[in-house]
Amino acid sequence: MKDYYRERAAEYDKIYEKPERQEDLATLRGLLPSLVAGRSVLEIACGTGYWTTALATSARSVLATDVNESTLAVARTRSYANPVQFAVADAFDLPSIPGDFDAIFAGFFWSHVPRADVQRFVQSLLERADLVILTDNRYVAGSSSPITRTTAEGDTYQTRQLSDGRTYEVLKNFPASAADVAPAPINWTNLPHFWLATLTRPHSPT
């Protein structure tokens, strides 16, 4: 997975050019600013910064992280309305990321988490911030890349091809419902091609 996204950095944003997804993408970009307004945001797996630009329109600050320096190099070339810092970091090692955050955003990363690890992964996000925002793909035949393999655990894989012909097998899971995404209180939005979930950390009674 890390190798695939490193090699895909230069053509990463082509996925956002699909005509049938434009209305949904505009909807998501319109929803995000109100969710993070005035907040200090940790973005994990920021890729080339496509979603970082939307977060930075209203967030007080954004720390955009990714495991690949090659995608961060593209993200650094973009313009942002509010302060954005970048750092190489592993989404599965959140304790190593310094700072205090009001919100965490993970765009199009949930689908790359093995189903057996989803609950633990989401809990790790909620341990760092009171608000967690997740968005990812729904499977749409004819628009989504076909599923080429399914494991006994229910993990699904796609075979992706880069412009130079190289192929990679990529873990890409799709939730059947909000219950598949997280154990925490959740607000769920379904769009034709994408889903958006906002989770709040439960607080113990005082």
Domain residue spans of the chain: 2-144+174-200
Q: Among 110, 117, 172, 163, which Cα is nearest to 140's? A: 172
Question: What integer pLDDT is reported at residue 156 of this predicted model?
Answer: 97
Within 10 A of 133 (CB to CB), how many other CB atoms are there? 25
Secondary structure element (H or E) that encloses residue 148, with its range: strand 147-150
CATH architecture of 2-144+174-200: 3-Layer(aba) Sandwich (3.40)
Question: What integer pLDDT is reported at residue 186 of this predicted model?
Answer: 85
Question: What integer pLDDT is reported at residue 43 of this predicted model?
Answer: 98
In sequence order, which residues have a C-beta less than 8 Å from that of residue 192 and are 6 or more positions away?
23, 24, 138, 140
Question: What integer pLDDT is reported at residue 204 of this predicted model?
Answer: 53
Q: Return the DSSP state at 167.
A: E
Question: What integer pLDDT is reported at residue 176 of this predicted model?
Answer: 87
pLDDT in tens, 106-154: 999 999 999 999 999 999 999 999 999 999 999 999 999 999 999 999 9
- pTM (2 decimals)? 0.93
User: Which residues, given as ranges, of the chain have pLDDT below 50?
Assistant: 206
